[in-house]
Structure 1
Amino acid sequence: MFVSSIIVAGGSGKRFGGKKQFFNLCGKPVVLWSIEKFLKLTDEVILVLPKEDINSFRAKWVKKYPALKICAGGKERFISVENGLKNISAQSSIVCIHDGARPLTGKADILRCIKTARKHGAAICAAPASDTIKLTDGKTTIEKTLDRRKIFLAQTPQVFRKEVILKAFKNKAGVITDDAQMVERTGLKVRVVPVTTPNTKITEQSDILIAEKLIRKYKT
């Protein structure tokens, strides 16, 4: 089994107020937390960055991470993932797709997700809903209360057999919110791997403070 990882860090960080992937988190850029984990746990890592940041990132980090592959992202996330897929090795059999803004993902959760995807074809890390979930009419009127026992909040990594994710991208259409959604449209059942540690996504400045506390607590 040869496992490839694509770390998507091509965003502009409008809500954050800057490129969050490069923001300092406990002594190193946010994205490096993911890079280091996936370099240890998988066979290759492809980092997808904004085109204008590639040269400066290489100049600063290539000596420390010589095995890291880097490619340019696109205007939409799915384009960035697609560019990453074009750079995976021919011998790859499993592909992990991970948000570079999720620095806290537990190593055990990553490995469980890989194992599940290898067996079933597709798996994602996800957190069970803890709040009561209301379905509205698209505005402010509640139509029904959903059974939160069946609700999971999709996270990353999202892991697939290579042929599964390549087929999904080949047939992509419509609005795409995550990679698993494209696989669902092919008819394959995607398995959920409940996370065992917090897997916070850095979206706003306040998330950095939360992430710092969690890193110290879990020593992730």
Structure 2
Amino acid sequence: MKTAAIVLAAGSGSRMHSDIKKQYMEISERPLIYYALKAFEDSFTDEIVLVVSPGDIDYCKAEIVDRYGFSKVTRIVEGGAERYDSVRLGLHAVSDNTDYVMIHDGARPFVTEEIMQRSIDGAKMNRACVVGMPVKDTIKIVDESGFATSTPDRKTLWMIQTPQTFEYDLIRKLYDMLEDKKEEIKAKGINITDDAMVVETFSDTRVKLVEGSYNNIKVTTPEDIGIAEEILRSR
């Protein structure tokens, strides 16, 4: 069985309010993207495809992949305008003999091999598996004016994380379908925000959820940098 990981590092990080792209900001003297790549490098993963912003391939090869010796990174490719464009480009860069692929946000530095293994096991049994955690807070549905309209049962709500893991042939086929129909999808007001939505939208395959970790945070805002540094210190 061959397993690949697509690590997404093509975002602009606009919510960081920094001239440095989020994925290259340092946390404990290492760029943010280092930690996700290191986790996959040290795991059972056979191949890593790194998806970066346009124009960043040479920088990432020299300053990230070569500098830190990430030998499992077989391809560095430029991403697209939207996250789903970047994922599709990453999928097309993965070796054709891949059985399962994990799609991971490079801004989640604390993925572990245990999380990866749970996601792979779930994909083996169900074809599609994402990691997440039950929400801790009460969630409100609000209208356009900001007034609460309903309160869903918290027991049915999970916050979704990555990696999101799939049979490679399945997810590549579905992303190609999305490419062909994305204008139609936009016209219907459907906003594809994660890989599981592609499966839910274009197939009858049910997506299994398995536990990740509350530490498997996505670094998005300046406040998250401090949280990430605290998690690193506690390891």
Q: TM-score, normalised by structure 2?
A: 0.89
CA distance in 1, matches of 2:223, 2:142: 28
Cα contact 2:192–2:198 (8 A) shared by 1:
yes
1:178 aligns to 2:183 (yes or no): no
Counterpart of 2:25 in structure 1 is: 23
Counterpart of 1:12 in structure 2 is: 12
Counterpart of 2:71 in structure 1 is: 66
Counterpart of 2:170 in structure 1 is: 164
Tell me which of 191, 195, 212 is aligned to 2:208. 191
The gaps in structure 2 that reach 5 residues or longer are: 186-190
Counterpart of 1:76 in structure 2 is: 82
* Gap change, CA 1:207 and 1:60, over 3 Å in 2: same
CA distance in 1, matches of 2:213, 2:82: 30
- Count residues with an aligned counterpart: 218
1:90-129 equivalences in 2 (<5 Å)? 90-129=96-135
Same amino acid, percent of matched pairs: 35
Counterpart of 2:52 in structure 1 is: 49
* Gap change, CA 1:139 and 1:114, over 3 Å in 2: farther
- The alpha carbon displacement at 1:74 in A equals 1.0
Counterpart of 2:34 in structure 1 is: 32
CA distance in 1, matches of 2:167, 2:212: 20
CA distance in 1, matches of 2:2, 2:105: 20
CA distance in 2, matches of 1:126, 1:139: 30
Cα contact 1:23–1:29 (8 A) shared by 2:
yes
1:155 aligns to 2:161 (yes or no): yes
Counterpart of 2:188 in structure 1 is: none
- The alpha carbon displacement at 1:197 in A equals 4.5
